[in-house]
Amino acid sequence: MAFTFKHGDRPVEGYTIQRAVGRGGFGEVYYAVSDGGKDVALKYLRDNPEVELRGVEACMNLKNPHLISIYDVRKSAAGEPFIVMEYVSGPSLRDLLTAEPGGLGSAKALFFLKGMCEGLSYLHDRGIVHRDLKPGNIFYDDGYVKIGDYGLSKFMSVSRHSAHTSSVGTVHYMAPEVGSGNYSRAIDVYAVGVMLFEMLTGRVPFEGASMGEVLMKHLTQAPNVDGLPEPFARVIGKALEKDPQHRYATVDDLMTDVLGAEAARSSLSVFNPELSLSGAAARGISDPRPGPVGAGGGAFGPPPPPRTPPPAAAPYIAASGKPLAPEVSTGRVRYAGFWIRTGAVIIDSIVLLLPTALAQMMLPVLGGVILSVVYEVWLLGSWRGQTVGKRACGIRVINADGTMLDSGDALRRTLASFLSTFTLGIGYVMAAFDDRKRALHDRIANTLHIYADEDVPGRVRRAAA
């Protein structure tokens, strides 16, 4: 698809386009020069301009050396909006990671970490959460680490570089709570932790064959920091805590913890960015180009291929071969709490009341137990993790890896539930205090209760939202 404008065009009064840079989800980016000779980046908001523009006003007058500046919003003669931004000639962090697939080393990682934290601290102090931190939005230019794309809603990508859906953030860098609509500054702390891991190792901490698999790992798995030296292992572990209350309260706290280690301070003090980074563009890592594509920038254009291609798999099939739960495939995972689960149990008990009485008459003592086991195993294994009660309450049971239960999974979970019963109900009450709402038998069987996002009566769906 050809770009809308070419060299020499003047879509906005006062600026002449030199060349196209790249194309993103909302429009096109051009390198341009003002009539006074200033190099700028012009972003043409071809699609959904109202989405892109809604955060610009709050960011227009921000001034910090670690942020790519927004100069103005202009309109063409036809009323088409353009964002005028700072020109960035240096490479993005994504460019550097692509050029160094084994990782950047601790000194370079610390340099980028410090610049990111200083820029984010400035944003957070002014009530702005970035929401889309990723290596493609971090740049090096003339001695400074610069952050782009701050303050705008962006699309969520199934890989680190492409494939979009309509949510905020990039899935490999997205905190677990984003799926439930929580956009506090803790999500930026989480993304910084992911990027620190990637800068040190050359890979992201959670990978998968589909967006759903990656999201489920964010929700359920701890990063593997084995082999990382201190303080990095400890800092990454805390930054990537599932509960935002357990992470660093601020990016300043994170950086202070890192620099509390003498080795980190020493490494950073002797690092010379002019020697290590200034020649990056000249070596072919990055064309001189305007990095920003949103409020404050971001690198679009043809994305580099992933360094390690993900294993081939259907979009909704996990690496294990089991189908993913529909909520996991679409990224809408919300844990079902103790009380709604209790409601489902009550409904199931009512459904089984008469059949249990008949079973007890036919086979005293064991009849009711056998009927209950058959009911749970049959329905959970064949009815997409739902019994009658769970379906009525709009919840389902899934495996902790995000896959649907099969009959074997359902049997293990049902047998484990007897342990919760034998503990005088304490095993069930554990769900009220667990961060993922797990009862004792959920922990044993490695299962989760989540809100179902399909086949839910409207009244229950609205109550669960």
Q: Where in the sequence numbering do the catalytic residues fall?
A: 132
Sheet holding 39-44, edge to edge: 15-23, 28-34, 39-44, 81-86, 70-75
What residue type is 179 in one-letter code? G
The DSSP result for 276-330, as a single string, is: HTTTTTTTTSS-S----SSTT----SSPPPPSSPPPP--TTB-TTSPBBPHHHHT
Q: Annotate 112-130 with b (16+ C-beta within 10 A) or e (fewer).
A: bbbbbbbbbbbbbeeebbb
Backbone torsions φ then ψ of 92, nearest 5 degrees: -85, 165
How far is the C-alpha of 70 from the C-alpha of 68, rounded, in Å? 7
Quickly tell me which residue has 């990723």 as its tokens.
134
Reply yes or no: is the peptide bond before residue 231 cis, omega within 30 of 0: yes
With the C-alpha atoms ordered 310, 316, 321, 324, is the resulting torsion angle positive or negative? positive
CB of 42 closer than 8 Å to CB of 32: yes
Structure token pair of residue 367: 């009849």
- Note whether 264 and 254 are within 8 A (CB): no
Element (H, E) at 463: helix 458-464
CA 203, CA 199: separation in Å to the nearest integer?
Answer: 8
The two beta strands, 28-34 and 15-23, are antiparallel
